[in-house]
Structure 1
Amino acid sequence: MPKPIDNDQLTFPILIGDIGGTNARFSILIDAYAEPKQFPIVHTADFATIDEAIQTTVLDKTSVQPRSAILAIAGPIKGDEIPLTNCDWVVRPKAMISDLGFSEVMVVNDFEAQALAVASLSEENRETIGDNPMSPIASRVVLGPGTGLGVAGLVHAQHTWFPVPGEGGHVDMGPRSARDFAIFPHLTPIEGRISAEQLLCGRGIVNIYTAVCIADGVEPKFTNPADITATALSGVDPQAAETINLFVTYLGRLAGDLALIFMARGGVFLSGGISQKIIPALKRPEFRLAFEDKAPHSALMRSIPTFVVTHPLAALSGLAAFARTPSNFGLAVEGRRWRG
């Protein structure tokens, strides 16, 4: 059985992968100075296994054969068989080593990769939400509504960035305003509770919209989150518009809670496609008002900046930064790195 090894540099060329519930993105980093070679986005539903996807869409398409791999996956990492939370793929590092020709494989949480990106994100790859555009070298938080809801912390200490993975998308969310109390009874609980991911992801948009329609006594018109979002931003449907207002409010509440937990003076970063699509809604007052409404620490919250990550391949960028200079990051590898 391959044993965990120290946090030394992976062997180039390195396959880098960002594996989500719906899409997988791959690139190859030839050496520490090269720009990653990108490959077309893979739909996870199109392939029975991740190994098949890598072989067909990457290895069969390039003469550069990677010696090692670092993969960011949407799900907790434990053992030699690692299932993804929101798709049927299972990552088996030992099988990848024997079948795909890698000398070593490292697996990290997908939001650790987002946190690695946030550690070095340039101003042109982020959009400021609120009045504070500065991001000091201090602890940060990244969260991203997508197929699910990912959360990670990024602690800065001893001149090193330490990503802190977790399952923060599954914390409880509860009603607060009078309107919340009218809507929450119509949300679908999971084993008796409403988690953040029940509200703050693609299906969460649909959940909120359906509950708003039921509370208003109207028939829901939409079942697709993209349709709800587009209609809301156009302002032609009051229930869709309220859905996105509530979505950014709930996102602001959770982002503020996480900022307090991590004392994230370096900022809170919203990643993923949904955040990018709703930037106009995030720039309206609701998000920052909910973010800052944390008495007795409202003054502290006003000083913490918030951003949307606009880099199109942020996770791959973060993994590439680690692959180039792993000594800059306190990334835990025990039980998550295999060598043949």
Structure 2
Amino acid sequence: MPYPNDPDRVLDFPILIGDIGGTNARFAIVVDSYAEPKEFPVVQTADYETLDEAIQTAILDQTHLLPRSAVLAVAGPVDGDEIDLTNCDWVVRPRRLMETMGFTDVVVLNDFEAQALAVVALGEEHLEKIGGGEAETAGSRVVLGPGTGLGVAGLVHGSRTWIPVPGEGGHVDLGPRTPRDLEVFPHLERIEGRVSAEQILCGRGLVNLYRAIAAADGAAPRFSTPAEITAAALEGSDKMAAETLDLFVTYLGRLAGDLGLIFMSRGGVFLTGGIAQKIVPALKNGRFRAAFEDKAPHNALLSAMPVFVITHPMAALMGLAAYARTPARFGVETSGRRWRA
């Protein structure tokens, strides 16, 4: 059975930590409470049939370290002994990992819980500020990140503990607001009739938005990948790509502002993931911030709320490492998400 929640119980070192997304999986080993995590090359999930194979081949076979515990963050809700990933065919089976790899303890979190933990583990050198005032030290925070999908998590402070709040906020509805939105939205690809935030604010969503703009204008799309669209937009070499990125950051700003209000994020709103890091110039051109603050009657509240782009390439691993070293620092609910031999 999953081990009962006990935040004061330490994990046995060495500890394997893993951030498992829809496209990439990142791993490291935390040797003790003081050493920096030993990182390994990024794993492409498509290159391995199972998580177990990836861990054995890409990590354990490449080191003399033998982890005794594992803390894994996965892109999807954690429920039961077989955990499906939202945008990947891998299934996480903690009991099998313990049987085949000798772990005595396995903790499985949501991937954006790890991103939330990273918010208090990273220094200012890994944060790019996008307007707003000063962050309150113990203020609530929210993290969102467009990538393969769109992840969202909160982080609240209480009883001298940081408590991550996982969820599936990337799947909330996102609707049109301006006349241009009303021209574009009818052409967006939907899921069972819905336009969720993730249908626009992720890699495939960027392509979805670009194609919808082309259809609205009766134009032929030139590009087919997020990288092509963002490159052309940032270079200023394609008008339709430029509008796509402008609308992308506008919609991201609207959602980020909504989430800032929901969590009353006086400690900051944090954008994470590869897409956010690549489009910092677009995030700073004023459109994101204008959409973020346009929340009457709470414009003043939002204008004071700082937004940061997390620039650390392994942010989630840093959050997992912080938790693995000192679980008692964080109010992570492990009931039903911790397995012990």
| Shared fold per TM-score greater than 0.5 | yes
For the 8 Å contact 2:134–2:304, the answer to whether it is kept is: no
Unmatched segments (≥5 aa) in structure 1: none
Corresponding position: 1:321 with 2:300: no
* Separation in 2, partners of 1:184, 1:229: 20
Structure 1 residue 160 displacement after superposition: 1.1
Secondary structure of 1:144's partner?
Answer: strand
Structure 1 residue 217 displacement after superposition: 1.2
For the 8 Å contact 2:201–2:248, the answer to whether it is kept is: yes
* Separation in 2, partners of 1:162, 1:38: 26
Corresponding position: 1:39 with 2:40: yes
Q: Deviations over 1:175-215 (max 9, x none)?
A: 00000000000001111110000000000100110011111
Deviates more, 1:43-52 or 1:6-15: 6-15
Secondary structure of 2:157's partner?
Answer: strand
Count how many residue pairs are aligned between Structure 1 and Structure 2. Answer: 340
Match of 1:30 in 2: 31
Corresponding position: 1:306 with 2:315: no
Change (3 A) 1:310 1:133: farther
Corresponding position: 1:248 with 2:249: yes
* Separation in 2, partners of 1:135, 1:220: 45
Task: Give the TM-score taking structure 1 as reference length.
Answer: 0.98
Match of 2:4 in 1: 4
Corresponding position: 1:140 with 2:141: yes
* Separation in 2, partners of 1:41, 1:301: 36
Equivalent residue letter for 2:221? P
Q: Deviations over 1:213-240 (max 9, x none)?
A: 1111110011100000000001111110
Secondary structure of 1:32's partner?
Answer: coil
* Separation in 1, partners of 2:23, 2:97: 21
Secondary structure of 1:295's partner?
Answer: coil
Secondary structure of 2:208's partner?
Answer: helix
Deviates more, 1:34-43 or 1:118-127: 118-127
Corresponding position: 1:104 with 2:137: no
Match of 2:291 in 1: 290
Q: Deviations over 1:79-122 (max 9, x none)?
A: 00001110100000000000111111000000000000002321
Equivalent residue letter for 1:59? L
Structure 1 residue 136 displacement after superposition: 3.1
Task: Give the TM-score taking structure 2 as reference length.
Answer: 0.98
Match of 1:335 in 2: 336
Match of 2:76 in 1: 75
* Separation in 1, partners of 2:31, 2:122: 22
Change (3 A) 1:178 1:2: closer
Equivalent residue letter for 1:143? L
For the 8 Å contact 1:135–1:305, the answer to whether it is kept is: no
Corresponding position: 1:88 with 2:89: yes
For the 8 Å contact 1:151–1:165, the answer to whether it is kept is: yes
For the 8 Å contact 1:5–1:338, the answer to whether it is kept is: no
Q: Deviations over 1:27-77 (max 9, x none)?
A: 000000111001111000000000000000111111110000000000000
Match of 1:281 in 2: 282
* Separation in 1, partners of 2:42, 2:136: 31
Structure 1 residue 130 displacement after superposition: 1.5
Secondary structure of 2:36's partner?
Answer: coil
CA-atom RMSD, angstroms?
A: 1.0
Equivalent residue letter for 1:313? M
Equivalent residue letter for 1:254? L
Q: Deviations over 1:114-149 (max 9, x none)?
A: 000002321100000125354532100000000000
* Separation in 2, partners of 1:2, 1:185: 46
Matches within 5 A, 1:198-237: 198-237=199-238
Percent identical residues: 67
